[in-house]
Amino acid sequence: QRHEDDTVVVVTHNFPIQAILCKALGMPLNNFRQLRVDLGSITQMDVRDSVFTMLSMNETWHL
């Protein structure tokens, strides 16, 4: 389902987040362990026309 111009919140475990980050950063999936995603952290990105823009990654200030 498309959510153009909507804000979508996805809550999941760190491995799926690392996989999405690999795609967004153009990294091979087998390099996912190079990306640190702490439990409970927040990662934000903007996706428009299949173009990923990283807004923040692995924020933990709220913990």
Q: Is residue 3 part of a domain?
A: no
Using CA atoms of 24, 41, 58, 28 in order, give the dihedral in degrees to the nearest 10.
Answer: -40
Q: Is residue 48 part of a domain?
A: yes
The model's pTM is 0.80
- Looking at the predicted structure, is the pLDDT value of residue 59 above 90? yes
Percent of the chain surpassing pLDDT 90: 67
Q: Is residue 49 part of a domain?
A: yes
Total structural domains within the chain: 1
Q: Is residue 37 part of a domain?
A: yes
Q: Is residue 38 part of a domain?
A: yes
Residue 32's pLDDT is what?
94
Residue 30's pLDDT is what?
96
Q: Is residue 4 part of a domain?
A: no
Mean pLDDT throughout 35-54?
A: 91
Q: Is residue 9 part of a domain?
A: no
Range(s) of the domain holding residue 31? 14-57
